[in-house]
Amino acid sequence: MADKGPHQNYLGMWGWVWGGNYKLERYLYLLHRITGLGLLLFGLFHLTVTTIFRVQGEAIWSSTISFLDNPLFRVGEFLVVAAFSYHALNGLRLIIQELGFALGKPVPPIYPFTDAIRRKRAWTLVTLAAIMVLAVAFFIDFTVRGWG
């Protein structure tokens, strides 16, 4: 039996994941969502380890730590730092641009069409790179080399 009516054709969550031929910003959106959820997962995991496992005494705490001290979790830790850096930088861009700043003004649609986010892309990326360089320099100067 056919359903004799319009067929639903919403992409659903697949529509978040599938970026197809769309350009950079479509993929930044996807990565922002993935890193956001990843950070949330890491946060829960981290809190579980540092609370539930810790309050049960030193024996359990040290065995947890030695269990976590392996290459897999080291890579994981690296990914958390990378995900946080990306999420924070892109999040900063989103806060600014989603409130309508740093996008310029509307332009008359003359072929070939352009759009605001891509007209400003170079500037946006250069600014974010500059912020990242400053953040890394700050980190090395004050944390790695000490506060003194």
**Eight-class DSSP state of 17:** H
Residue 145, contacted partner among another protein, ligand HEM, none, CB below 5-8 A by kind: none
Q: Which CB, 26 or 46, lies closer to another protein?
A: 26
Binding mask 90-119 for another protein (x = CB under 8 A): ----x--xxxxx-x-xxxxxxx-xxxxxx-
Residue type, 21: N
Piece of the chain touching another protein by CB under 8 A; list 8-16, 42-50, 58-66, 131-139:
8-16
- Exposure string for 81-114, b = 16+ CB within 10 A, e = fewer: eebeebbebbeebeeebeeeeebeeeeeeeeeee
Separation of alpha carbons 144 and 28, rounded Å: 30
Q: Which residues contact 120 (CB under 8 A, 6 or more apart)?
A: 102, 103, 104
Smallest distance, another protein to C-beta of residue 62, A: 43
Q: Token digits for 59?
A: 């024996």
Total of chain residues touching another protein, rule CB under 8 A? 47
Residue 20, contacted partner among ligand HEM, another protein, none, CB below 5-8 A by kind: another protein
Contact residues for another protein, defined by CB under 8 A:
1-16, 20-23, 25-26, 28-30, 32-33, 94, 97-101, 103, 105-111, 113-118
